[in-house]
Amino acid sequence: MRRGAAITFLAMLLGFSTGAWGGEKKVVRVWHTETEPQTVAVMQEIANDFEKLHPDISIRQEGLAWGDLEAKLTAALAAGAPPEASHGQAFTCASFYHKGLLRDQEDIAAAIGKDNIFEVARNLCRFDGRYYGITHSPNTNLLIYRKDVFRQKGLRPPATWDDFIKVAQAMMERDATGRVTRYGLSLPGVPLFVNILVAELTRANGGRLFDNRTGRPTFTEKQVVEVLDFYKKLNDTVLPPGWLGHGYLDTFTNLATGKAAMVYQGHGRSAGYIEKYAPPGTGTPEYFGVMRKPHGPSGKDTAAQVDAEPWMIFKNSKYPEEAATFLKFFFQEKNYIKYLHTVPIHLLPTLKSVRSSQAYQANAMYQRWKEWVEMDYYYFERDLAKPTLVVNWDDLKLPFLLEIFGSNILPDMVTDAVKGMPSAQAAAKAQARAEELITKLGHKRW
């Protein structure tokens, strides 16, 4: 006891902190949206390796479901206890930037090389020429189809929405009693993915969701009303009953097990589900392909959503500088490739040097499904992919997209339409709700 007291007294005299004696560490909380077990495990490996180099820091990483992230972040910020670093949608990053909550990431961008950041990832959270978020991985949502059925039916890739419905109808299957055994399409009906698809379809129909000059919603414009008409037609002809209750991963399972011929909001992650759940011998790119998405009656070109959550660092968190140090470590090539390879066709590289790296390309699953990856880059390289709720890049200058997303106004608009409300009426109802919300938030400029 005397010896322990003497050591404590000596430590006080020398000004040592408890951390220097193996006491409390700086706990850096890192939230991300990659919840698959193998990705969580690799994130922990990266965290462990980082801690060996920085014994005074503890990385506490947590995988959160996409649909839960924004609500949890908003609650944490309201409580004054944000994580040090977190994924977020591009509009989430924009909203937090406009509120002055984010630490800039110019030092991280410089460390990984600003010219090394893939072009599609540069504008996801960059304002006034400065990075406030760098995406962990960009990919697009894909139109995935049963290639074997498509060939058997002698079908051609659809150019328009009407063509697409005809193709989906042709790929449906019925038994002797007329019961549908394979539907033409599977769609997720949960709000996150309806928000995503409404914006994507609006782009593919030559429309917009907001007036960038005033911020006023434009839901009653012809191009958006036609999106609702398209949803109605899909609901009435090729989607399974109850599809509004289907989740994102349900659609992959429906495709892999033969319950649906196509998925409109597929991702590279789907390839893993196909390999796991498709009948033996069929879980290959010879049976499951990707094709360009069609455009609407008022549009001229295809469109897709870029799924690319930027890393954000909250400047009022406890240890923002330590979080920045960790993200620099995360993006080091050895660590980063290990992370990307946990979901090879879905997690594509933000860094050009990694994309061309032999170590990255050597992955066997990447080689098998490379056709899918090339479709991602078709959208990327032509600027045809935009983030959730974003039709034009200038939409990210609007300060209220996070609140629009959280309000479920757009998913409710789609639900109203497919359940029988005239499309123009559903659009007008959503327009009024959105205008009221934006006004309450103090952002009305019209």
Decide if pLDDT at 50 tops 70. yes
CB atoms within 10 A of CB 252: 26
Domains in the chain, CATH or no CATH each: 2-138+308-368 (3.40.190.10), 140-305+385-440 (3.40.190.10)
Residues whose CB is less than 8 angstroms from the CB of residue 335 and which lie 6 or more positions away in sequence, other chains included: 46, 49, 329
Nearest residue to 351 (alpha-carbon basis) of 339, 363, 343 = 339
What are the residue ranges of helices labelled H in 190-298? Answer: 191-204, 222-237, 248-256, 269-277
Please write the tens of the pLDDT for every residue from 268-319.
999 999 999 999 999 999 999 999 999 999 999 999 999 999 999 999 999 9
Q: Reduced to 3 states, what is the DSSP secondary structure of residue 39?
A: helix
Q: Provide the token pair at 353.
A: 């040097």
Q: Is 255 left (phi over 0), alpha (psi -120 to 50) or beta?
A: alpha
User: 137-150 burial, b for 16+ CB within 10 Å, e for fewer?
Assistant: bbbbbbbbbbbebb
**What pLDDT is attached to residue 69?**
86
Please write the tens of the pLDDT for every residue from 85-125.
999 999 999 999 999 999 999 999 999 999 999 998 998 99
Distance of CA 114 to the CA centre of its chain: 22
Does the pTM surpass 0.85? The reply is: yes
- Cα separation, 45 vs 56, whole angstroms: 17
CB atoms within 10 A of CB 123: 16
Cβ(294)–Cβ(262) below 8 Å: no
What are the CA-CA distances from residue 209 to residues 91, 232, 316 (Å)? 14, 19, 33
Residue 202 banded pLDDT, cuts 50, 70, 90? very high
